[in-house]
Amino acid sequence: MLSTLFSRCPMQRLMAWLPWLLATALGAQAQAVPNPGENIEYLITFGAKADPAWGDDDFTQTFFFLVPQGQRQPVYLRVYDPDCGGKLDSQKGGYDTRTSFSIYGGPGAHSGAGARDPRPALKPLPVTGRLLQEKTFGSEPQYDEKYYTFGPLNPLEGELVEEFKGYVFKVIVRGLSGNDGNVYRFFFSTERAANNAVPGGNAFTYEYCFRLPPALRKATVHLYPFVNDKVVSMKQSNYDVDKSATLTVFSVSKNGHPGVVSGDKEWSSNVIPITDKERGLSLDFRLTSTTKTPNDMVFYVTDQYDTALPFFAVPIGGPPRYKYDIDMKIHR
């Protein structure tokens, strides 16, 4: 239905539909980051002294959380396993990593210079927005495989983003010291002690550093970059895939187009042409592991102007389905 709706709408009206799509297509599942539909178990951020060959190019990760404009109920950001020292984390010698979680709101949190840069370490800029809450974790058993909750956060403390018709909070995770990999995940909630979805809420990022499950689980990871109405082509870039996975691209116009994957401690990329039918919807990047061990890696996408495009937790317009063009000829 959604794809039919867009096929009948003039392209200039696509962005007007985006807030409605965010509320209807994402629903409760969008509050979990990573989302179950992505089939990613955990995010990962390594300490500042880690070897980038382990899968993290810059030891920082940024996510954005959206509260609909009419929401006035306080919200909470819950972080599962925020410490670095338990069985989920990636140990490199003795655990010595400290990781900070910082929440920003106010003007510039999303719109500020560098806020959406997928590779902020290349051109370091001051963090934009107003710091609301922050906590640093080391190896602390009381947080191992348990939630730590930030909040309450007043929705009005976020940055009002007209494009999304809501208030956006920015969460920056930094590996401050050590060389271990901190494995964690988020839930955006209306309750301090439970995972209760924010009505119409949403989460997205412009760079994804995550753990790919091993081939033994026969798991395919889905990444859902959103294609706005100005995109003519999309460049996907990935880091440290180790040639240990296959990448295929699906959409209403693409039925498993191959993508380039990187080797060890290197970036690789390729350009993907975008069709009219794909604008206003998400693509589906499918990553399937070919090795027996988990692998940590980084992905981001940009448009033809090198502007970063967001990965939404749940695809806008729903998971894309390829539409066959049937050319019927009548023979007399």
Scan for tokens 């930094």, then name that residue.
Answer: 174
Confidence label for 30 from pLDDT (cuts 50, 70 and 90): low
Contact 103, 133 (CB under 8 A): yes
What is the reported pLDDT for 124? 87
Burial of 161 (0-12, 13-18, 19+ CB in 10 A): middle
- For residue 325, what are the CA distances in angstroms to 82, 254, 275, 286? 48, 11, 14, 23
Other CB atoms within 10 A of residue 138 CB:
17
- For residue 98, what are the CA distances in angstroms to 60, 257, 330? 12, 40, 69
Angle at 133 between CA 132 and CA 135, to 5 degrees: 155
Confidence label for 172 from pLDDT (cuts 50, 70 and 90): very high
List alpha helices for the chain, DSSP H: 2-8, 14-26
- Is the pLDDT at 313 greater than 60, yes or no? yes
Q: Quote the CA–CA distance of 193 and 212 in Å, as a whole number.
A: 29
pLDDT averaged over the chain? 88
Q: Which residue has the higher pLDDT, 31 or 191?
A: 191
pTM for the model stands at 0.88
- For residue 7, what are the CA distances in angstroms to 13, 107, 271, 280? 11, 35, 24, 10
Query: CA nearest 178: which of 45, 43, 48?
Result: 48
- Is the pLDDT at 156 greater than 80, yes or no? yes
Which pair of structure tokens corresponds to residue 273? 């042409």
Burial of 199 (0-12, 13-18, 19+ CB in 10 A): middle
Q: Quote the CA–CA distance of 286 and 116 in Å, as a whole number.
A: 23
Scan for tokens 């999304």, then name that residue.
Answer: 164
What is the reported pLDDT for 14? 45
Q: Quote the CA–CA distance of 69 and 92 in Å, as a whole number.
A: 44
